[in-house]
Amino acid sequence: MENIVLVQSDFSEVTLPKKLDVIFSDAALHWAHNHAQVFRHFWKMLKSDRTKGSQLLIQCGSYGNLQTILALLRQVMQNEFEKNFKNMKLPWHFGKPDDTSKLLGKIGFVNINVHLYNNSVNLCNREIYSKFVRSVIIKPLLVCISKEKSRNRYLELFLDEVEGRKSVNPKQETPCSLDHVTADKP
């Protein structure tokens, strides 16, 4: 692992001592709101070698991702919890594949391949689902609720809504649409 350097930074501000052959990102880009700024920064970070080229390889949440879950979260936000989320901006940006392709082309990338694939995660019980949702999906929402008891109540009400949907349609899974992006810098 002598050629690997781990860096913790904002996507659009990361600086490295030399240009890169490949930028790879897995399940992270949807946390950045300004994809244009990020992709322009990635362009600057990649080598410009006409004979070899450089690559951008990204997998992230896409437009439509978490729609069912977000609808249920909004439903639970109403009434009792509405004041907690009054000025909150959702922490995700789920870009549309066509928009992402156009953006990459405008920046100068070539051989652009942006596509969706549906994947679903089937978590076996309420406790495991609760842990996953609390740490991966609704963590940024829970910080808007000041009291731990209220955070737990919000989570439990959400889980009740999820289970209510499952009881109406037991075979329904929660699909997760993921963007897969590849592009080359000539």
Q: What is the pLDDT of residues 125-161, one digit of tens each?
A: 888 888 888 888 888 899 999 999 999 999 999 999 8
Contact between residue 16 and residue 5 where contact means Cβ atoms under 8 Å apart:
yes
pLDDT of residue 4: 79
Which token pair is 66?
Answer: 């978490």
What is the C-alpha to C-alpha distance for residues 59 and 63, in angstroms, rounded to an integer?
A: 13
Q: Does the CA dihedral 34-179-55-6 come out positive or negative?
A: positive
The Cβ-side half-sphere exposure at 102, using a 13 Å CA radius, reads: 5
| Per-state percent for the chain, helix, strand, coil, to nearest 5 | 45, 20, 35
pLDDT of residue 177: 46
pLDDT of residue 2: 80
Which token pair is 51?
Answer: 């004979």
Per-10-residue mean pLDDT for the chain, 186 residues long?
A: 80 89 88 93 88 83 77 88 88 87 94 80 79 86 93 93 70 51 73
Which among 26, 4, 25, 16 is positioned nearest to 46, based on CA atoms? Answer: 16
What is the C-alpha to C-alpha distance for residues 77 and 81, in angstroms, rounded to an integer?
A: 5
pTM value is 0.77
The residue extents of the domains of the chain are 22-185
pLDDT of residue 175: 44
Domain 22-185 CATH (choose: 3.30.200.20, 3.40.50.150, 3.10.310.70, 3.40.50.800):
3.40.50.150
